[in-house]
Structure 1
């Protein structure tokens, strides 16, 4: 990718997945409002987080249930 197309993609918000970026697509992230911890939904299993009785991941810092939030404003769940 050339510098012009890189700048154009940055300004227009376009992204293209390359072959090395394949994997599960994120639909949101879990947040701990008290600690500010954020973990993408596709990374919860890899983080090895405990879950509460309802299956909600618990914050690794304080142990409180985390809040799930979706953000699709720019096609990214961040």
Structure 2
């Protein structure tokens, strides 16, 4: 029987990303603080966003960071 080398993490991550984009089920990944790290196109459709989900997330975080900085200056 042949011994197989383990698959490098970078290849595993790329394969998982490709799978998540191609699968019809809605998939989202959160970090330990329940912040979005990734979503697939099916999730975007399910929640009904017309614009890119990531542009919305970016604008929300930008506003939150601005508000936090503003309140810390007061």
Into which bin does the TM-score normalised by the smaller protein fall?
under 0.3
Higher relative contact order (CA 8 A, sep 6+): 1
- Structure whose residues are more often helix by fraction: 2
Please, what TM-score do these two structures have when normalized by structure 2?
0.26
Please, what TM-score do these two structures have when normalized by structure 1?
0.25
Larger Cα Rg: Structure 1 or Structure 2? 2
